[in-house]
Amino acid sequence: MPSNIIAIVGRPNVGKSTLFNRILGFREAIVHDAPGVTRDRKYGDAEWAGTQFTVIDTGGYVPRSEDVFELAIREQAQIAVEEADLVLFMVDAKDGILPLDKEIAGILRKSEKPILLVVNKIDSAKQEMNSAEFFALGLGDPISISALGGRQIGDFLDEVTSHFKAESPEPPGERPLRIAVVGKPNVGKSSLVNALLGKKRQVVTDIPGTTRDPIDSILTYQGEEIVLVDTAGLKKKSKVAESVEFYSALRTLRSIERSDVVVILLDASRPIDHQDLHIVESTVQRKRSALIAVNKWDLIEKDSNTVKAFEQAISMDLGMYDYFPVVFVSALTKQRVSKIIDMAKEIEQEQSKRIKTGELNDTLLAEIENYPPKTSSPKEIKIKYVTQLKTKPPLFGFFCNEPKLVQESYKRFLSNKIREHFGFKGVPITIMLKKK
């Protein structure tokens, strides 16, 4: 499902980072009185009343500045607006309308994006009249809040989420398998997609999604249509490196959320770094199944232990996410690229399977009896019943007397035991503890 993305824009020092932190519920962006503190674009995942969305914190927007730093901020803010489903234009009630506010308002109107005018620093009902002058910006009714104090944030988020269109679920079996190829820049995403499709694309079509998503490709593989959710067609939007990386990150998030299986592409000639791990974590957070494809394998000098050594190194780097299968490929020579599709189809079957309740209880309750959950509380934890609540991704319910006392480490133990007995290679497993 495509993500809902909102971008917070405005001139410097109106409280954008404070609102960002308020929405996310914790201090993520740096908040300071000095203008221009938010240099890099920050984004985070939030939820309100069951609606999930991504919120972007942009730097202070200065339209005509020739300053190199402010130019970079402006370009990144423009990219954020382009990617957003909803723009929050933030102004300062204490300063009133400044010429820069008018200029930004004019630019936003031309974007043809839904815009909410947010008047910050309305700290009490007595100050509500201070928001009236902002009608002059021609962006509709001002929404007054206090980002710092949290005043009227609930009503504000109700208004924000009301602008997101509900996704109508597609019946299973009525759409093709969607595979996203993601990875950091220069790992060979374009080359891999071209290797899978061949020199000429068999069919190119608009796949339903958001209007700003790239055109995806239809791959006909052994008589089956498969959609490649392509993040490789990234056009350079700016000469500013940070802007390109930020734009690429947003594209990656959208592609992950629109996929059934994610192919996380690594470069065999480079060690796994924080960018690679961030993509892995983003995939897991969105509960998407995945496989690891190590590209440029043709460049590596090999002996009989090379594959095993690489697999062990990747497993150590991934830590608790080592359940993703690994395949070594070369997009240049097309070595084993078809194996990616075979593995993705196997993972799709794994995430769609359902384990019988009787089989689950016979197997897992014996494991629990041998290794019961520990707790610092005098109460004994007793898990009596297990069932699979849903598929794709699989959710397992464990019914016990004290679900709140079960530690995260024991949930990982249960998840590992499910994998040990029932597979689910490449598939994230969710454990839910419920009151008996």
CATH number at residue 236: 3.40.50.300
Distance CA 38, CA 5 (A): 19
Please indicate, yes or no, whether residues 15 and 144 belong to a single structural domain of this protein: yes
Strands 224-230, 143-144: parallel, antiparallel or unpaired by DSSP? Answer: unpaired
Q: Give the model's pLDDT for residue 385.
A: 94
Please indicate, yes or no, whether residues 112 and 46 belong to a single structural domain of this protein: yes
Instruction: Tell me, yes or no, whether 73 lies in a domain.
Output: yes
Please indicate, yes or no, whether residues 205 and 124 belong to a single structural domain of this protein: no
Please indicate, yes or no, whether residues 348 and 414 belong to a single structural domain of this protein: no
Q: Give the model's pLDDT for residue 173.
A: 52
Closest to 223 in 3D by CA, of 351, 353, 345? 345
Please indicate, yes or no, whether residues 87 and 114 belong to a single structural domain of this protein: yes
Q: Give the model's pLDDT for residue 233.
A: 39
Instruction: Tell me, yes or no, whether 87 lies in a domain.
Output: yes
Q: Give the model's pLDDT for residue 109.
A: 84
Please indicate, yes or no, whether residues 118 and 149 belong to a single structural domain of this protein: yes
Please indicate, yes or no, whether residues 383 and 407 belong to a single structural domain of this protein: yes
Q: Give the model's pLDDT for residue 144.
A: 94
Question: Domains in the chain: how many in total?
Answer: 3
Distance CA 36, CA 70 (A): 8
The pTM is what? 0.63
Alpha helices in 52-91 (DSSP H): 68-83
Full domain range(s) for residue 20: 5-161
Q: Is 111 exposed, middle or buried (0-12, 13-18, 19+ CB in 10 A)?
A: middle
Q: Is 65 exposed, middle or buried (0-12, 13-18, 19+ CB in 10 A)?
A: middle
Please indicate, yes or no, whether residues 114 and 184 belong to a single structural domain of this protein: no
Residues lower than pLDDT 50 in the chain = 1-2, 28-41, 200-215, 232-244
Residue 188 structure tokens:
């060979």
Closest to 238 in 3D by CA, of 55, 41, 7, 100? 41
Q: Give the model's pLDDT for residue 417.
A: 96
Domain closes at, from 111, 128, 161: 161
Please indicate, yes or no, whether residues 43 and 137 belong to a single structural domain of this protein: yes
With H, G, I as helix, E, B as strand and everything else as coil, classify residue 313: helix
Instruction: Tell me, yes or no, whether 320 lies in a domain.
Output: yes
Instruction: Tell me, yes or no, whether 111 lies in a domain.
Output: yes
For residue 288, CA distances in Å to 49, 250, 293, 403, 429 come to: 22, 16, 16, 26, 10
CB of 60 within 8 A of CB of 94?
A: no
Strand partners, 294: 266, 328
Please indicate, yes or no, whether residues 316 and 390 belong to a single structural domain of this protein: no
Distance CA 52, CA 34 (A): 31
Instruction: Tell me, yes or no, whether 143 lies in a domain.
Output: yes
Domain closes at, from 127, 161, 195: 161
CB of 315 within 8 A of CB of 170?
A: no
Please indicate, yes or no, whether residues 362 and 345 belong to a single structural domain of this protein: no
Q: Give the model's pLDDT for residue 235.
A: 37
Instruction: Tell me, yes or no, whether 166 lies in a domain.
Output: no
Please indicate, yes or no, whether residues 272 and 384 belong to a single structural domain of this protein: no
